[in-house]
Structure 1
Amino acid sequence: MDSIAAIKSISSDVIRQAIDSNEKLNNVQTGSFDSIYSSMIQNINETSDLQNNLETEEIKFALGLADNTNDLTVAQQKASTALNYTVAVRDRLLDAYKEIMNITI
């Protein structure tokens, strides 16, 4: 967390969002199931929004309404990163669930 705290003075929205996400993750790690669940719902909603934004950019580009490929590429990368993150979190949750189910009482 020290490496992220060192760049707080940079005025980039992406970096601020990363810092906020890191702080939320730290809060979730010490929180209850309810906070973890609401964090996952928010993550899924953000991923869905990024996928929808990508689809909009693709349609604009295909119809010739946008000739700037940069917007399309940025939307693709954001959607891809968000989806990969969501899948990784899902896999970790499933692994944790399997481990809990294997605990003998």
Structure 2
Amino acid sequence: MNDISALSNIGSEYIKNAALNSATLNTDDQSFGTYLQSAVDLVNETNQLQLDYKKEELNVALGYSDNTHDLSIAESKAATALQYTVAIRDKFLDAYKEIMNIQI
């Protein structure tokens, strides 16, 4: 049987990191570079979660793993991260459009 002790804090590191990132984004003295770096880090993390999901999917498809729970968890993490990334991208685009509409 698989060890389920890791399930006691499901995603706690991911949630902690997300809270830390959002806390740093809420301060007023942050530069645009900080915001941009945070967005790049988010894209990299989302990409890694997508790759982990594809790896798990391949392992199940090839018969190396019969644990569909890990596949389901990896898929959920990847989907949630992608939705969050798309929402952040939409906010950046809205802010960009608003800045472009400002008359000088």
Residue 40 (str. 1) matches residue 39 (str. 2): yes
2-structure distance, mates of 1:36, 1:24: 10
TM-superposed deviation, 1:100: 0.6
Structure with bigger RCO (C-alpha 8 Å, 6+ apart): 2
User: Residues of 1 paired with 2:94 and 2:73: CA distance?
Assistant: 32
Matching of residues 1-105 of structure 1 within 5 Å = 12=9, 14-30=11-27, 31-105=30-104
Report percent identity of matched pairs. 45
User: Residues 7-50 of structure 1: CA distance to partner in whole angstroms, max 9, x if unpaired?
Assistant: xxxx7262343133213212123211111111111100000000
State how far apart, in whole Å, the 1-side matches of 2:48 and 2:59 are. 16
Q: Which runs of 4+ in 1 moved over 4 A?
A: none
CA distance in 2 between counterparts of 1:23 and 1:55 reads: 27
Structure 2, unmatched stretches of 5+, are 1-7
Q: Select between 16-25 and 38-47 the one with higher mean Cα deviation.
A: 16-25
Q: Which is worse superposed, 30-39 or 81-90?
A: 30-39
Range that drifts further, 25-34 or 55-64: 25-34
User: Counterpart of 1:94 in structure 2: which amino acid?
Assistant: L
The gaps in structure 1 that reach 5 residues or longer are 1-10
TM-score, normalization by structure 1? 0.83
The alpha carbon displacement at 1:99 in A equals 0.6
Superposition RMSD on alpha carbons, in Å? 1.4
